[in-house]
Chain A
């Protein structure tokens, strides 16, 4: 289908100030190809079905809307974790603040420093993104692959116990950043990737994860703090035989967040879990868009998304499970729920199943509800003040998603952050 002139113009306007970053030949080729893809698709507009519940305007505009910096006394999440920390300030790698990029069983290279010698990354940068462009186009991800200025390439060859933590700081009110990370887990390898921080006034981020046979990847991310920040993120993952992929995201604050997660289960007996909690207060729009493709036998996928919304906040969930022909014994589960703390807030959900195999177990559910008054009264009748009782019920609502985090210490860290967020908002 030919693009409308409006779309063409909007796309050219967005990229007119950008230039393809320099790099080795293979990377330049990948970037040029991404630019061709982007131009063929055009950036999303308000009429696109995939953007029905989230207005892409501010995410595709030529200029980022400035976002005030948010000062807080609160310590950074994961601060107590023994980790390998990699720091980005307004989308630029900060070598001084970062740990040395070395470790046993792991190779880490800054995207901006990539040279022709990194053979393992050739053919991988942008490859999973291309894969994820069908059957639904994701132009912001193509834009990212073409213009990403920084990021890291991580290759994991062993069982790495120390988590790698990407920390983002937002220091300029007008920062408009594009980051692209690639993670490749070789056969039997294992790692945990942590991400935290608001990154920029506007962030476009892609994370490509290639999980080879029997490899295990854990991902825990917090997006928060800054009230006015905007972000469009994509995770593209490909899973081999008996591999495991688990991703959890906690989002608090931010006027606009669109998190897309595109997973393809290509090897038998693979497991993919994606979970998220978001807490929206006031001028807050959060969109979780998930697309999981089962293309192998006896794989399991789980999507667990919980949203607490108040003071006019909006939550969106678009989640799809596609079971391809032959993907027998698929076990697919999807739940998206919202807790609306007032009548001004809203939750828009579009759960989808598309199944071409006949021996599968897939279920999905979506609910919106208010605080359970009976439970609230029960707690209050025992002496728990109303606001504290409400917090307990909110945490109880979120817990199913938080429990998707396997590591106990990290799970407790996230739970205590949730608690802190709620406490700060008590009247």
Chain B
């Protein structure tokens, strides 16, 4: 369970408050969606939760299964079960995709005091998971995300998620840059990972992703706060009327 209480965040370099007292609870096993206009702070929320530098938490807390994650290093948060699927997955020339994933899986296992995965076992598992995401052997061998299409990059994010088996997955605009077929494939990958023990926070601009990944709860975010919470129908309302009505209503 992820509990965010009164989270306040500003940019480190400039005196600009981005999150202004955000409250949000994602129960274990649930899928929550956050929608909101540009500049509402959605991506900032995902970065702050995963530990990216450049932000200063000026108030509030974020607890993952009761543990405050904001004081942790990014790798510690990952080992606790937090995962961010990047809006723009990073290209890393020179680091093989397979090496990267195996290093990550075993680093997390080590951090949790678990036994490392042998290379034979790892190969077996990754091949099976890659297949369902239509990721071929060549993509596994190539450097991380280098030369991947937009759809391949996002599928690679989902593959990482599948390999790392996190408790709390944040998807930051995973639908951006995807055509309809690619989006379906990614959504199927995500849906396959839905389980009682795993929560999702899906950040998106558009309702269409939520046709494929059906949320339990939808939040509307504006100006650094959650301004409205409802069921899946809230997403449809945004799709039909835009954000203006909702924002006027809560203002």
Contacts and interface: CB of A to CB of B under 8 A. Distances in A.
Nearest to B104: A382
Interface-centre pick from B89, B90, B91 (highest chain A CB count, 10 A): B90
Interface in B64-88: 73-75, 77-79, 83-84, 86
A383 B80 CA distance: 9
Interface in A350-385: 372-375, 377-385
A373 B53 contact: yes
A384 B94 contact: no
A395 B86 contact: no
Given A385-B107, A388-B103, A379 B92 contact: yes
A393 B95 CA distance: 7
Interface size class of A (residues with CB under 8 A): 20 to 34
Interface residues of B, number: 31
Given A378-B86, A380-B51, A383-B79, A392 B100 contact: yes
Nearest to B94: A396
Given A374-B90, A396-B93, A399-B94, A381 B100 contact: no
Interface in A222-273: none
A372 B90 CA distance: 10
A388 B108 CA distance: 12
B111 interface: yes
Contact of B78 (A383, A396, A399): A383
A399 B143 CA distance: 12
Interface in A370-419: 372-375, 377-386, 388-389, 392-393, 395-400
B94 A382 contact: no
B154 to A, nearest CB: 14
A385 B53 contact: no
Contacts of A399: 94
B59 to A, nearest CB: 23
B25 to A, nearest CB: 23
A383 B108 contact: yes
A87 to B, nearest CB: 35
B94 A395 contact: yes
Interface-centre pick from A372, A374, A382, A400 (highest chain B CB count, 10 A): A382
B164 interface: yes
B104 A396 contact: no
B104 A383 contact: yes
A383 B92 contact: no
Contacts of B78: 380-383
B156 to A, nearest CB: 11
B160 interface: yes
15 contacts: A375-B90, A375-B91, A381-B51, A381-B78, A381-B84, A382-B78, A382-B100, A382-B164, A383-B78, A383-B105, A383-B108, A384-B107, A393-B95, A397-B94, A400-B94
Interface of A: 372-375, 377-386, 388-389, 392-393, 395-400
Interface of B: 50-53, 73-75, 77-79, 83-84, 86, 89-95, 99-100, 103-105, 107-108, 111, 143, 160, 164
In the A-B complex, the 3 residue pairs with the smallest Cβ-Cβ separation, listed nearest first, are A396-B94, A383-B78, A383-B108
